[in-house]
A = this chain, B = another copy of it.
Amino acid sequence: MTDSWATFGADLHVELRGPGLRSGLMDALREAVRTGRLAPGTRLPSSRSLAADLGIARNTVADAYAELVAEGWLTARQGSGTRVARRAAPRPGPGTGVRGGSRGASRGGAQAGPVPVRRPPVRRPAAHTLHPGTPDLGSFPRGEWLKAARRALTSAPHEALGYGEPHGRIELRTVLADYLARARGVYAHPDRIVVCSGFVHGLRLMAQVLRGRQVRDVAVESYGLDIHWNLLTEAGLRTPALPFDEHGTRVGALGRQGAVLMTPAHQFPLGGALPPDRRAEVVDWARRTGALILEDDYDGEFRYDRQPVGALQGLDPERVVYLGTASKSLTPGLRLGWMVLPEALVGDVLAAKGHSEWVSSALDQLTLAEFIRSGAYDRHVRGMRLRYRRRRDQLVAALAERAPDIRVTGIAAGLHAVLELPPGMERSVVQSAAWQGLAVQGLDRFRHPDVPPGRDALVVGYATPTDSAWAGALDALCRALP
């Protein structure tokens, strides 16, 4: 421990009182780095010993450290513990080509006190978040992934590292075709798969293709994500909302729209599966009118209480554009998704993708191909299904005990649940959660602007916390409920 910690650590106890321990600790550390009170390179005590020292939970310290590492204030390296980041030397002046001082400094022991860089203010994250849409990042199988990367990169031909082709790597498309047929009932073939950097990229490409085909309206569901609606709007498409009843989206209301964007296997965020008669009905509509169905299969792998609902795409591969992603099943950081396209659309989508430099990392594509091929993907999905199911059961049990009036729906599948609230309570519950340091979203957040306000509810992403943060998040949720 260097001297700069010794003097700072002595004061630290005083500054940490009351609620918001973790964010308080983060603020104190940030300020100390910013002002130079903690010198660059200073080694921090282990999370265990600082936690004991401060009389707080070790996870609180570990989480604060991790977040500060992520923000660039601290660095963590195996074997050398957590340290204050050695930030860049004073900015090089224009035209001088001055060497930044950090390389030299990062080797030496003593520092000449490089000027800490003032970063723009960071929005302080809540202590816990139950926002839907992110898997448990702590469960990303780093070791297995690295093994697959080694195998993939060792055996890849040199050519695989080049600019590649707009479809994406053939290795990945080949294993995806097999996997999607097997796991999701998708009629897939490598030639009609186009790799993209996630659902949003795929939707952007489709928006471009639809506009090019003079489509004006893409129907959407009553509840969904504003980023998807906005993307379509920015591409010049209108997004009329379809009505919704207790069985799900009323596809019978579809008319002259050129396409519909749907989550048939697991409505986001309400959680139901589109019933079989409506599946048939929407496909009939598309056939009759020549329209397209954009199927957002964002979490199709995660089903708990019943047989998986296969992809709608299997019903008519020439009318359904299937969009899948590794963002929920593995991690959003991969930025890999896939489209399975009607044969007639492949050319248009490739043209929309552009004439060169096709976005997705070849190394990651090769690694994911090997990860799927070797069976590691199936094992990971199976393991996560059990873990998420356990969390869901813990959520249901905790609510039954501590908030027995709250009905939980949409829990047969996926990574989130809907907690029905008494009328008029949604906003106050979200606020009360914020006071508990819990970020959680109300259903209103997901309501299409055309749809009148209806039920009050929370959309709880129970997959989002890491294992160590889950119990605290669940507790904060229960405390926030009426």
Interface residues of A (CB under 8 A from B): 66-67, 69-72, 76-78, 85, 87-88, 91-100, 102-103, 106, 117, 119-120, 134, 137-138, 140, 142, 145-146, 149-151, 153-155, 157-164, 170-171, 174, 177-179, 181-182, 184-185, 187-191, 197-201, 204, 227, 230-231, 310, 314-317, 327, 331-336, 354-364, 373, 466
28 residue pairs bridging A and B, Cβ less than 8 Å apart? A67-B159, A69-B157, A78-B151, A88-B174, A88-B177, A88-B178, A91-B189, A95-B185, A95-B315, A98-B181, A99-B181, A99-B182, A106-B373, A119-B190, A134-B162, A137-B158, A146-B150, A149-B149, A160-B333, A161-B333, A162-B333, A164-B333, A198-B357, A201-B359, A204-B354, A331-B362, A335-B359, A360-B361
Are A361 and B332 interface neighbours, CB within 8 A? no
Give the complex CA separation of A77 and B156 in angstroms: 9
Kindly list chain B residues whose C-beta atoms are within 8 Å of the C-beta of A117.
189-190
Interface centre among A93, A96, A357 (most CB of B within 10 A): A357
Kindly list chain B residues whose C-beta atoms are within 8 Å of the C-beta of A142.
153-154
12 more contacts with CB within 8 A, not counting A72-B170, A99-B182, A231-B354, are: A72-B174, A78-B155, A88-B177, A95-B185, A134-B163, A162-B333, A204-B354, A230-B355, A327-B357, A333-B361, A335-B360, A363-B364
Give the complex CA separation of A466 and B72 in angstroms: 39
Give the complex CA separation of A155 and B78 in angstroms: 7
Are A190 and B72 interface neighbours, CB within 8 A? yes
Kindly list chain B residues whose C-beta atoms are within 8 Å of the C-beta of A137.
158-159, 161-162
- In the complex formed, the residue of B with least CB distance to A62 is B157
Specify how many copies of this chain sit in the oligomer.
2
Are A227 and B355 interface neighbours, CB within 8 A? yes
Q: Which 6 A-B residue pairings sit nearest by Cβ, starting from the closest?
A: A97-B185, A333-B362, A66-B157, A100-B178, A161-B333, A200-B357
Interface centre among A103, A200, A230 (most CB of B within 10 A): A103
Q: How far is the CB of A471 from chain B (nearest CB, A)?
A: 16
Give the complex CA separation of A67 and B153 in angstroms: 16
Among candidates B71, B191, B331, B361, residue contacting A162 with C-beta atoms closer than 8 Å:
B331
Give the complex CA separation of A313 and B152 in angstroms: 38
Q: How far is the CB of A472 from chain B (nearest CB, A)?
A: 15
Q: How far is the CB of A310 from chain B (nearest CB, A)?
A: 5
Give the complex CA separation of A198 and B151 in angstroms: 26
Are A160 and B72 interface neighbours, CB within 8 A? no
Given contacts A88-B174, A92-B181, contact A138 B154 (CB under 8 A): no
Among candidates B100, B119, B134, B171, residue contacting A72 with C-beta atoms closer than 8 Å:
B171
Give the complex CA separation of A336 and B361 in angstroms: 8
- In the complex formed, the residue of B with least CB distance to A97 is B185
Kindly list chain B residues whose C-beta atoms are within 8 Å of the C-beta of A92.
181, 185, 187-188, 314
Give the complex CA separation of A171 and B360 in angstroms: 20
Q: How far is the CB of A368 from chain B (nearest CB, A)?
A: 10
Kindly list chain B residues whose C-beta atoms are within 8 Å of the C-beta of A134.
162-163
Kindly list chain B residues whose C-beta atoms are within 8 Å of the C-beta of A230.
355
Give the complex CA separation of A199 and B103 in angstroms: 26
Kindly list chain B residues whose C-beta atoms are within 8 Å of the C-beta of A315.
94-95
